[in-house]
Amino acid sequence: MRFLHKGKASSHKESTGRAKDMTKGNPTGLIFSFALPLILGNLGQQLYMITDTMIVGQGVGLKALASLGATDWIYWLVLWPVQFLTQGFAVLITQNIGEGNEKNIKKSIAMSALLCLAVGALVSVLFPLLAKPLLGLLKTPADIFDGAYSYVTVMYAGTLIVMAYNMASAVLRAFGDGKTPLLGMIIAAVLNIGLDLLLVMEFRWGITGAAAATIFSQLAAFLYCLFMIGKIPAVNMKREDWKLDVSVAKQLLKLGTPLALSHVAIVIGGIILQFVINGFGSLFIAAFTATNKLYGLLESTAISFGFATATYMGQNWGAGNLERIRMGMRSAMKLAAVFSVSISLLMLAFGKNLLLLFISSANEDAPRVLELAYQYLVIMSVTLMILYILHVYRSAIQGMGNTIVPMIAGIMECVGRISVALLLTRVMGEYGLFFAESAAWLGSAACVMPAYYFMVRGRALAGGKEERAVKTCTCPR
């Protein structure tokens, strides 16, 4: 990150200490120190999502809890593509930082912001109109339909805010700053809990209040991150930086669109899974909802190591430092192994107690819901290592500029989820659904792992050819 060491840009590093140059230093320390605030931030995000679920489940009831669960996949149909579209945009920003090209950094950030504005506004207007048909398509049970519709409509309408926050966080992470997104998430978590208590419990808005609390909290986090981005000298924009650059926009879409489509494929598989789940009734939906909220905790550390790996790989790929890329992968995998095993053991030991946070013991069906939820949690905990491997390798490939393979991996994940959901339920009944997630992770990981090694080997061979060509060149003197 040469631009960080000259001119005004260096003052940012000295004054804030937040811009992180990952092209030198110990890879394990760099990845861990960058991932740690992201882990805390993601845990904060999961905290306020869990708080939503706890307040709704305990304060409103099992039907409301099932209503939340019925919206998961159709909300993720919007959330995941816009999140990963911004991640794709961040790949170009990160590589420009690695190259030290300040002009390209500004242009890529400006074009990313304009694209996010266009996509976010379109989705915020269009998808609230599609909420009712989507819930009907999934055969959402009548006793939870109205609650699910109210919740997802508010969440869809707030997509522009959610996308803006994700883009701001991605820009900060591209500069190696994981602390500011963490602080933004802490602000959001605290605000969300307060608004949940006010809107759901005091004003009795039900799950509509929980949705509104989430959107307002994300808005606060975005405004904080935007303020901090404004303090980075390298992002001191001028009017010409905001002029539409079609070539840069195409580059960004080339990187972001495959990632977005890969998660559309993943969500399609999940929607089909939700369709099958809905056939087993609202109690089974409630059990799945409780476990899936804990699944967010299971995955949050994997996501954080993925972000750290993508930033590390992007900067070193941009700098052409292949040996550091290999070292970084080894470090990331060691960290992922330690954390995934530790989290698995914690969930196996204390998972049932954690599930009781969402399931009101006052309900006569609570023991059955708890039994189903814990069985599902055990299977996910035992296979958690696969999920962590998937995140590290997929993020490494993204950071190195390849978003096509993750798109293919998303399709594999979709196929794995659907196949297991449809086939095993015929043999094992409702219990067959518990294996769908693990099968999806396995199919996707089998795609991204070999692709990483092909990319590294290809870059090494290309570098060797260039070096030999320079040595054998007979230039006129």
Q: pLDDT > 90: what percent of the chain?
A: 44
pLDDT tier, 335 (very low <50, low <70, confident <90, very high otherwise): very high
User: Cβ contacts of residue 353 below 8 Å, gap of 6+?
Assistant: none
pLDDT band, very low/low/confident/very high, at 474 (cuts 50, 70, 90): very low
Nearest to 274 by CA among 387, 143, 418, 370: 418
Q: Is residue 341 over pLDDT 60?
A: yes
Question: Taking all residues of the chain, what is their mean pLDDT, rounded to a whole number?
Answer: 86
pLDDT band at 235 (very low <50, low <70, confident <90, very high): confident
Contact by Cβ (8 Å): 310, 298: no
- List the structure tokens of 399: 């950071």
Looking at residue 279, its pLDDT comes to 86
Q: Is the pLDDT of residue 310 over 80?
A: yes
Q: List Cα–Cα distances, 333 to 43, 49, 161, 258, 390, in angstroms.
A: 21, 28, 34, 25, 10
Burial class of residue 356, CB neighbours in 10 A (0-12, 13-18, 19+): middle
How many CA atoms lie within 13 Å of 33's alpha carbon, on the beta-carbon side?
14
CA 30 – CA 41 distance, rounded (Å): 17
Query: What tens digit of pLDDT does each residue of 362-373 get?
Result: 677 888 899 999
Tally Cβ neighbours within 10 Å of residue 7.
11
pLDDT tens-digit profile of 134-179? Answer: 999 988 989 899 999 999 999 999 999 999 999 999 999 888 888 8
| pLDDT at position 19 | 58
> When comparing pLDDT for 308 and 8, which is higher?
308
The predicted pLDDT at position 477 comes to 36
Contact 430, 283 (CB under 8 A): no
